[in-house]
Each structure stands twice: as C-alpha cells, then as structure tokens.
Amino acid sequence: MLHNENTDEAIGTAFKFLDNHLQKLLGVSPYQYYGEDLVDYAFSPKTGVLQLGTDPNEQIGLRNFFSGANAIFRNPTAHRFIKHDLLIAASVIAMVNAMSKMATQIASEKP
C-alpha cells in the first residue's frame, strides 16, 4: 500500500492488524473488545490481562502508549482522509509492528 502512497489506508490496516492480534492473544471476540475497550482490557494497570509485573508507572505508560497511538494515528484515518508523508507512515507501521511484538512477549511471560 505504501508504494502507492496510500498512507491512510496503510496505517488503518496496521491498526486493524494490531486489534486482531490483541484479540487473538487475549482470546476475545472482535465484537466483544475493540479499540479503547480492548486496550483497557489488555493493559489496564490493575485489571489488564497483560501485566508487565514491573513498576506500576510502567504499566500505566504501556496502557497510555497503546491508547495514545490509537487516538493519534488510527482514529483520524478511520474517520477522515489523512495524507501522511511516506516516512511518517512507514514509522507508524513499524511502531505498530513493535507494539504487536511487545504484546506477544508480555503474553508469553504471563504466569
């Protein structure tokens, strides 16, 4: 998609992948949890399924990171046409990839 400079679609697809990935890791339906509710279910400091097991502030930061990325990058492309430059789009897609790997690692370390 990026080779066609369709950056909003590429970013939107990356975040759909991330939602789907989190739903599979957590064993929940896409109709049950998505978007902000999915982030809370996964990463809420006291009740989230995926806990870092480190300083509580790091858990808050993890939850805020996932929530903020959704709000800043996913939501605008879901509701209107956004023309990000290619470098920004590639960076956002790389960030989403890192986020999915972080979630997988945290899930694999769960007791």
Mean pLDDT over each residue of the chain, to the nearest integer: 91
In the predicted structure, residue 2 carries a pLDDT above the cut 60: no
pLDDT at 65 over 90: yes
Residue 88 φ then ψ, to 5°: -60, -45
Q: What is the pLDDT of residues 7-22, one digit of tens each?
A: 888 999 999 999 999 9
User: CB within 8 A of 103, min separation 6: which ones?
Assistant: 21, 22, 25, 42, 50
**Verdict on whether the full-model pTM lies above 0.75:** yes
Q: What is the per-residue pLDDT for 3?
A: 58
The pLDDT value given to residue 91: 96
Q: Which domain holds residue 94?
A: 2-108
Overall number of domains in the chain: 1
Mean pLDDT for 50-75 is 95
pLDDT at 71: 93
